[in-house]
């Protein structure tokens, strides 16, 4: 086991696309999957003479993230140019914040998975995304689509404060949850709105000096991140074991098919990016008032919410986590709890019915991911509260309530009317119920005798017969009650 001899030290660099309507420095809208090169203008094409103008909303969303990650916020900031030639970078420089990141020195205390561990945030800065290269067939060469070019990114860099693949994934999952909560990003790895590079090194157990680090690129899913880290742990351990160690810091790309990392031809460390302040953009100053206002508008974050559901609402950790994982479902749950004053019941309902309904409708799920919206699911919490009251009052059975929920997904009828229409109201009339019991006793004289001599399971059999006789409409609880009266 490598863990016995070496400590793993991991730092993550996440690039998240901010959920603005337009790009970072121009007014082009960006929609994933739009026709190639249909979302461009002189500025994001890098045409001669074109200039950048910063998007206020990108700053606001960045600020939300910075505050959610407990970062310090830079008072004044500037943009720098990072210069390198690449076909998907038409200006041959990326506008980024090299010298003054907007946000720095923050941390995320994990609430799920390896709860209690802390990941430190080195910096989170604004920059612009590059376009996309498509690798067509050989004759065609590489094709360039610049739609994505200029989309606002927040690059979130951790310190080397992560110790394992699992902790890396726990951090990423919680980061993603937070960013969705605060409406900063969709964090959809498949659509590239969350991308992650991993810096990893090993050091002898207990040593305080960091080993040479390797940068892993091209990790497009949680699974790939885990595999790549575990592969790299083994590869590096083997190198240290043979006392060769890591010769030089380098970037490696992950080949998921082959299950191995490979050195990249172009070594990042040898590049000279020639950063300098972008003379096309002015200085920015983040006013205290803006910070305070943004802080006040932040929703409750998943970690605190998770704790509150357990300590104040008495939910189990499992239920609380399920709810907190989906902000809009959690909001639905809170609304329902307020209406029926039973958190447990509300949780059961949301977990059993609302979450599956959300999952079955991905468009709703996506639209309602942020903590500021209640899941736009029909039936609304008010209607569900009525269903719950109807069950409490014995008007309908639990099963019937669930059936009604499904019907109400597409119906606008009142629950009461619908229950009537669908013949789901329970039989509650004592005379009719006693008649059903009498029929059950007549049909099952042996069971009745057994009950009278104290054999409890006999009661279920008699009530069950009566339920079947009523085609499920009889109120089972009341039947049991009446039967008990009859045995006394």
**Could you list the residues that contact other proteins (CB under 8 A)?**
20-22, 26-29, 35-42, 45-59, 76, 78, 81, 83, 85, 87, 90-93, 133-136, 138, 140-146, 272, 274, 276-277, 279-285
Residue 320 tokens read as: 């609380």
Q: Smallest distance, Å, CB 60 to other proteins?
A: 9
From 3, 29, 34, 41, residue interacting with Zn ion (rule: CB under 5 A):
41
Residue 36 tokens read as: 């190639």
Q: Which does 366 bind (CB under 5 to 8 A by kind): other proteins, Zn ion, Mg ion, none?
A: none
Q: Smallest distance, Å, CB 144 to Zn ion?
A: 15
80 sits near Mg ion (criterion: CB under 5 A): no
> Within positions 129 to 188, which residues make up the interface with Mg ion, using CB under 5 A?
155
CA separation, residue 170 to residues 11, 24, 114, 234, 280 (Å): 13, 29, 7, 21, 40
> Within positions 261 to 280, which residues make up the interface with Mg ion, using CB under 5 A?
none
Residue 77 tokens read as: 């900031």
Q: Smallest distance, Å, CB 275 to other proteins?
A: 8
Q: What's the rounded Cα separation, in Å, for the pair 71 and 125? A: 11
Residue 130 tokens read as: 């590059």
Comparing CB distances to other proteins, the nearer of 220 and 469 is 220
Task: Work out the angle between the directed axes of helices 302-311 and 165-181 (0-180°, nearest 10).
Answer: 90
Residue 150 contacts residue 129 (beta carbons within 8 Å)? yes
Residue 2 contacts residue 234 (beta carbons within 8 Å)? yes
Total Cβ atoms within 10 A of residue 421: 11
Comparing CB distances to Mg ion, the nearer of 155 and 174 is 155
* Strand, coil or helix: 368: coil
Residue 151 contacts residue 30 (beta carbons within 8 Å)? yes
Q: What's the rounded Cα separation, in Å, for the pair 286 and 447? A: 80
Give the contacts of 347 (CB within 8 A, at least 6 positions apart).
313, 315, 319, 323, 333, 337
Q: Which of 220, 117, 97, 217 is nearest to 166 (CA)?
A: 117
Comparing CB distances to Zn ion, the nearer of 147 and 440 is 147
Comparing CB distances to Mg ion, the nearer of 156 and 315 is 156
Comparing CB distances to Zn ion, the nearer of 49 and 457 is 49
Q: Which does 155 bind (CB under 5 to 8 A by kind): other proteins, Mg ion, Zn ion, none?
A: Mg ion
Comparing CB distances to Mg ion, the nearer of 123 and 252 is 123
Q: Smallest distance, Å, CB 78 to other proteins?
A: 7
Q: Smallest distance, Å, CB 49 to other proteins?
A: 4
- Catalog residues that contact Zn ion under the rule CB under 5 A: 26, 28, 41, 43-44
Q: Which residues bind Mg ion (CB under 5 A)?
A: 155
């Amino acid at each position: 086991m490598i863990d016995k001899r070496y400590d793993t030290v991991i730092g993550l660099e996440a690039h998240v696309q901010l959920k603005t309507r337009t790009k970072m420095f121009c007014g082009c809208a960006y929609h994933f999957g739009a026709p190639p090169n249909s979302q461009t203008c002189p500025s994001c094409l890098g045409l001669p003479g074109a200039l950048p103008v910063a998007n206020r909303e990108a700053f606001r969303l960045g600020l939300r993230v910075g505050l959610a990650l407990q970062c310090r916020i830079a008072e004044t900031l500037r943009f720098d140019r990072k210069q390198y030639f690449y076909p998907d970078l038409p200006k041959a420089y990326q506008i980024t914040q090299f010298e003054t990141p907007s946000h720095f020195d923050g941390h995320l205390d994990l609430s799920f998975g390896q709860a209690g561990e802390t990941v430190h945030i080195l910096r989170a800065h604004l920059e612009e995304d590059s376009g996309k290269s498509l690798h067509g067939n050989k004759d065609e060469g590489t094709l360039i689509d610049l739609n994505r070019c200029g989309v606002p990114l927040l690059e979130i860099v951790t310190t080397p404060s992560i110790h394992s693949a699992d902790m890396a994934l726990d951090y990423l999952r919680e980061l993603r949850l937070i960013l969705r909560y605060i409406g900063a990003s969709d964090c959809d790895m498949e659509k590239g709105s969350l991308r992650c590079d991993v810096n990893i090194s090993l050091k002898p157990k207990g040593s305080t000096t960091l080993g040479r680090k390797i940068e892993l690129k091209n990790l497009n899913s949680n699974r790939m991140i885990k595999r790549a880290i575990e592969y790299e742990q083994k590869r590096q351990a083997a190198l240290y074991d043979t006392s060769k160690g890591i010769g030089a810091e380098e970037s490696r790309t992950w080949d998921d098919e082959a299950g191995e990392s490979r050195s990249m031809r172009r070594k990042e460390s040898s590049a000279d990016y020639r950063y300098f302040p972008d003379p096309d953009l002015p200085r920015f100053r983040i006013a205290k008032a803006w910070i305070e206002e943004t802080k006040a508008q932040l929703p409750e974050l998943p970690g605190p919410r998770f704790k509150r559901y357990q300590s104040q609402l008495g939910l189990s950790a499992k239920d609380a986590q399920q709810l907190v994982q989906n902000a809009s479902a959690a909001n639905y749950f809170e609304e329902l709890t307020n209406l029926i004053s039973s958190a447990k019941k509300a949780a059961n309902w949301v977990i059993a019915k609302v979450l599956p309904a959300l999952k079955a409708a991905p468009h709703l799920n996506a639209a309602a991911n942020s903590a500021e919206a209640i899941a736009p699911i029909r039936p609304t919490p008010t209607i569900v509260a009525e269903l719950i009251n109807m069950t409490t009052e014995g008007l309908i059975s639990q099963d019937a309530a669930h059936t009604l929920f499904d019907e109400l997904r597409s119906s606008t009828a009142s629950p009461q009317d619908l229950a009537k229409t669908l013949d789901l109201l329970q039989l509650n009339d004592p005379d009719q119920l006693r008649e059903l019991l009498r029929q059950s006793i007549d049909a099952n004289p042996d069971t009745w005798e057994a009950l009278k001599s104290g054999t409890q399971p006999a009661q279920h059999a008699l009530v069950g017969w009566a339920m079947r006789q009523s085609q499920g409409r009889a109120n089972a609880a009341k039947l049991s009650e009446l039967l008990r009266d009859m045995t006394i």
